[in-house]
Copies of this chain bind each other. A is one copy, B any other.
Amino acid sequence: MQPSSLTHPLDRATTLARNEDGSMTGQTDAAYANMVGPFGGITAAVIMKALLVHPERLGEPVSLTINYAAPIADGEYRIHAVPVRTNRSTQHWSITLSQGKELTTTATAVFALRRDTWTTTEILAPDVPAAVAVPSSRLANTDRAWFDNYEMRFVRGHLLDQSKPEDERDSVTVLWVRDNPPRPLDLVSLTSICDSFAPRIIVRRPKWVPFGTVSITIYFQAGNAQLEAQGDRPVLGIARASHFGRGYHDQTAEVWSDSGTLLATSHQVVYFKE
Give min CB distance, A111 to chain B, whole Å.
10
Size range of the chain A interface in the assembly: 35 or more
Q: Chain A binding site: helix, strand, loop or mixed by DSSP? A: strand
When all copies of this chain in the complex are counted, the total is 2
Q: Which residue of B lies closest to A272 (CB)?
A: B117
Cα–Cα, bound, A122→B115 (Å)? 37
Task: Please give, as numbers and ranges, the residues of chain B lying within 8 Å of A248 by CB-CB distance.
Answer: 62, 112, 114
Neighbour of A247 across the interface among B96, B114, B123, CB < 8 A = B114
Q: Which residue of B lies closest to A252 (CB)?
A: B252
Task: Please give, as numbers and ranges, the residues of chain B lying within 8 Å of A223 by CB-CB distance.
Answer: 246
Cross-chain contact A120 with B274 (CB below 8 angstroms): no
Cα–Cα, bound, A108→B68 (Å)? 11
| Contact status of A204 and B117, CB under 8 A, knowing A92-B67, A94-B94, A219-B269 | no
Binding site for B on A (CB under 8 A): 62-63, 65, 67, 69-70, 84-85, 87, 90, 92, 94, 96, 103-104, 106-108, 110, 112, 114-123, 170-171, 204-205, 214-215, 217, 219, 221, 223, 240-248, 250, 252, 254, 262, 265, 267, 269, 271-274
| 17 extra interface residue pairs, beta carbon distance < 8 Å, beyond A85-B106, A108-B215, A120-B204 | A69-B92, A90-B214, A94-B106, A110-B269, A112-B214, A112-B248, A117-B245, A117-B246, A117-B273, A119-B243, A119-B245, A121-B243, A121-B244, A221-B245, A242-B254, A243-B262, A252-B267
